[in-house]
Amino acid sequence: MSELTANQKDKLMSDLRVVVADAEELLKLTAGDVSDSTAGLRERLQERLLDAKHSLLTLQANATEKAKAAGHAADDYVHDHPWQSVAVGAAMGVVVGLLIGRR
């Protein structure tokens, strides 16, 4: 299975947040209904909602840790190889300048 891109992960997290918010609203709206089937459904929904929230928090924490690690690695590289970093930045600037100049 291929890995999700950053945009796909952001969209997935956004969609999951919407689902969690909708489920919480549904629980609030059905709070007055006291039938046995509704009570069982509400309990299962609350359990799954808590699991989904926990999964979202774990996913967010993992993504934050990976982003911080990537930032630290880039920072370390720039400190270890300052002239190469300047050269890469200058080359990218020239390429972007040429692309903008062609318009």
Q: Domain map of the chain by residue range?
A: 6-102
What pLDDT does 4 receive?
A: 61
Distance CA 44, CA 41 (A): 5
On the question of pLDDT at 90 being above 80, the answer is: yes
What pLDDT does 3 receive?
A: 62
- Of the pLDDT bands very low, low, confident and very high (cuts 50, 70, 90), residue 36 is confident
Q: Are 23 and 45 in contact (CB under 8 A)?
A: yes
Distance CA 31, CA 14 (A): 26
On the question of pLDDT at 98 being above 70, the answer is: yes
Q: Are 54 and 20 in contact (CB under 8 A)?
A: no
